[in-house]
Amino acid sequence: MLDSLRNAASTWIAKLLLGLLVLSFAVWGISGQILNDQSRNVLTVGDSSVSMLDYRLAYDRQINTLSQRLGTRVTREQAVAFGIDEQVLQQLAAGALLDEEARKLGLGLSSDRLAQLTADDPAFRGPDGRFNRQQFDFVLSQIGMRPEDYLRNREQVAIRQQIVEAATDGMSVPDELFKNLALYRGEDRTIEYVALPQALVEPVATPDDATLQAWFDQRKADYAAPEYRKFSYVKLEPSDISDPASVSEDQVKKAYDDLRNRYTTPEKRTIEQIVFPDREAAEAALKNLLDGQSFADVATAAGKSADDIALGTLAQGEIADSAIAEAAFALSENQFSDVLDGTFGPVIVNVSEVQAEVVQPLSEVEDEIRQDLALEEASRVLLDVHDAYEDARAGGATMAEAAERMNLTMRTIEAIDATARRPDGAIVGDLPVSAELIREVFESDSGIENAPLSMGGNGFIFYEVEGITPERDRSLDEVREEVTQDWIAAETDRLLAARAAELAQKVKDGVSLDDIALEIDQQKQVKRGVKRTANDADLGQAGVAAVFSVPRDGSGVFANPAGDGQVLFRVTEVFEPASATAQSIPENQRDAMRTGLADDLLDQMVARLQGKHPVTVNRAAMQEALSF
């Protein structure tokens, strides 16, 4: 039973039954000095307890599990934010409650059974697949664990297992529940509905000062000014240090000659071809061409359309068949070839247009080449400039002074919040590596010389925080326009909700939605096949939830997905899926339900044990366990 629960990935049970043993294997050796100080246990349940070491081992294991899941090492501060210390405490308390209950019930494990469990552990098997005492001693010595400690922990796990199996053995989820779940998920509904726009209520007038002040005072935190930071930065990319004027005429001329193909548009020809089934047909067509027939007429006689014979306007290197390419580029404009041996059979080609090669003169591309050469040189010396800047700062130069020495530009952002907005609400949208830079600025402090940020391996950002303006409450006068708009919107929503409630009551009293639609000059809509899992564009998730919260012929109101109106609806049809069976629920979901039921039973049992066996927690010992 334990294996089946563990295979179903029950986190609670796995930690409850195997935590102590696995944790001991993982990091048994830390702080052995506190092992036997029973007066400093983290928690005590009757005669059962959890030592500081056991708590720290469980805590470290939880940290490792979370770090693997997130792909980064979780810090102590992050662990506190996640509440890991309390989670571990609750898990170990559950185990201690089981230990105390086992002690009260007189549960135990015979020496023979403990020996068998130890012998069955694959970690202790020798080359022949059987228990090997030397392997047993070696494994335990590697982790600094004594044999008696291993046996004590193994016995504790096995005794807990007895209680868990007693609570969960024979437990199963009835097929009727799975069938009902399939019916629940597969149900679909037809509704009729009417949109209730804000135009149904009179425009709301601007409130007086007293009303606005009272409304603002209740929501002052919503209008608080965030923390702003002033910072300066220097960007170092090849474009920031390139010097096109330093590139000589000879360098530009050489680069132009070396890269001539880049500035050359090759000769192209518009080519037509007729492919024939055999040489005899091709020779007959060639004779007709020589007798004065047009290439188009010969193609038509061969059963070819204009699309069939068009090869395209191509450079010589773009033609796959080398024989056709050589022949076509040896012809003059409006000249046809002899019969050629093409890839797909005998072929005659015709050149209808010749586009001559075009070479951009040096005068047209000189500036572009000069810029490219300057950027290449800047990329080569980029790290040298980086080091020179760092040396200047190390020598006592300010950011502005170091930037000036390197001919770099320092830019200052007077005030920005963590969302890249200025105090006036405008977004600072031209920051390099914006998201990363702002994040680092808000993690730094004033006057600190920070390590530069990398710009994708081709540049750096040097930055420094120059001032911090703490978040603060704003006065009404500072945000009066925004608050007024919000109050009007909220009051409009309130009035519309009241109007919607009136109309909804009429529907409940027997008025049809057709009559309601006529009354408010709106059109009734009908939507079929609405399912519980739908995120319908017209209804939204909240709307779908409302539709499935009432029975057939039930009605209700919900806010539309756009947030600018209400929707009045009535359920007209409810359909159950004809094929709903227990087997229509996927096996993995059925396993999850079985596991969840087992977890619920164990949680209830532990809750009952908490009332039976008081749990005492030593917070000081818990904090000390986390400090070593």
Residue 28 belongs to a domain: yes
Residue 284: alpha-carbon gap to chain centroid:
68
In a shared domain, residues 203 and 297: no
On whether residue 83 sits in a domain, the answer given is yes
Assigned domain for 372 exists = no
**Average of per-residue pLDDT values in the chain:** 85
Say yes or no: 540 and 442 in one domain: no
Whether residues 75 and 47 fall in one domain: yes
The pLDDT of residue 176: 77
> CA-CA distance, 204 to 202, in Å (whole number)?
6
pLDDT at 428: 92
Report the CATH number at residue 298: 3.10.50.40
- Cα separation, 356 vs 314, whole angstroms: 12
End-of-domain residue from the set 308, 341, 356? 356
- pLDDT band with cut points at 50, 70 and 90 for residue 628: low
b/e string for 73-89 if b means 16 or more Cβ within 10 A? ebeeeebeeeebbebbb
Residues in Cβ contact with 505 at an 8 Å cutoff, skipping those fewer than 6 apart: none
Residue 596 makes CB contacts below 8 A (sequence gap 6+) with: none
In this structure, the answer to whether residues 18 and 150 fall within a common structural domain is yes
Asked if pLDDT for residue 25 goes beyond 60, the answer is: no
Higher pLDDT pick, 154 / 394:
394
The percent of residues in the chain predicted with pLDDT above 70, rounded, is 92
Residue 315: inside a domain? yes
Domain-ending residue, one of 444, 469, 494: 469
- Whether 517 maps to a domain, the answer reads yes
Domain count, the chain: 4
Does 363 reside within a domain?
A: no
State the pLDDT at residue 191: 95
Cβ atoms of residues 607 and 32 within 8 Å? no
pLDDT of residue 184 exceeding 90: no
| Residue 253 belongs to some domain of the structure | no
213 and 232 part of one domain: no
Distance CA 296, CA 269 (A): 17
Asked if 389 and 455 sit in the same domain, the reply is yes
The alpha helices in 434-552, defined as continuous H runs, are 434-443, 480-508, 513-519, 540-547
Percentage of the chain surpassing pLDDT 90?
54
Whole-prediction pTM value?
Answer: 0.52
Task: Say whether pLDDT at 29 is over 60.
Answer: no
Q: Specify the range with the lowest mean pLDDT, choosing from 110-114, 386-390, 523-527.
A: 110-114
The answer to the question of residue 144 being in a domain is: yes
Residue 615 has pLDDT above 80, yes or no: yes
Name the residue range of residue 306's domain.
267-356
460 to 254, 372, 543, 586: CA distances (angstroms): 32, 20, 50, 52
Token pair in block for residue 367 = 């500036």
Q: Among the listed ranges 254-258, 470-474, 557-561, 609-613, which one has the minimum average pLDDT value?
A: 609-613
Pair 453, 341 in one domain? no
Quick one: average pLDDT of 186-191? 90
| Tokens, residue 461 | 């950002």
Closest CA to 164 of 94, 88, 227: 94
Residues 155 and 203 in one domain: no
- Split at pLDDT 50, 70, 90, the class of 396 is very high
90 lies in the same domain as 155: yes
Does residue 452 surpass a pLDDT of 90?
A: yes
CATH of the domain at 82: 1.10.4030.10
DSSP string, 138-199: HHHHHTT--HHHHHHHHHHHHHHHHHHHHHHTT----HHHHHHHHHHHH-EEEEEEEEEEGG
Q: 525 and 450 in one domain?
A: no
Q: What confidence tens digit (pLDDT) does each residue in 46-100 have?
A: 888 888 887 887 888 788 888 877 777 777 777 888 888 888 888 888 888 888 8
Q: Which two tokens stand for residue 80?
A: 């506190």
- C-alpha span between 583 and 596 (Å, rounded): 18
pLDDT tens-digit readout, 114-171: 778 788 888 788 878 888 888 888 777 765 668 877 777 777 777 777 777 766 666 6
Please tell me whether residues 503 and 607 are part of one structural domain: no
Whole-angstrom distance, CA of residue 540 vs CA of residue 559 = 9
Task: Tell me: do 490 and 560 sit in the same domain.
Answer: yes
Whole-number pLDDT of residue 171 = 67
At 273-330, the pLDDT tens digits run 999 999 999 999 999 999 999 999 999 999 999 999 999 999 998 898 888 999 999 9
Please tell me the distance from the alpha carbon of residue 55 to that of residue 23, in angstroms, as a whole number.
10
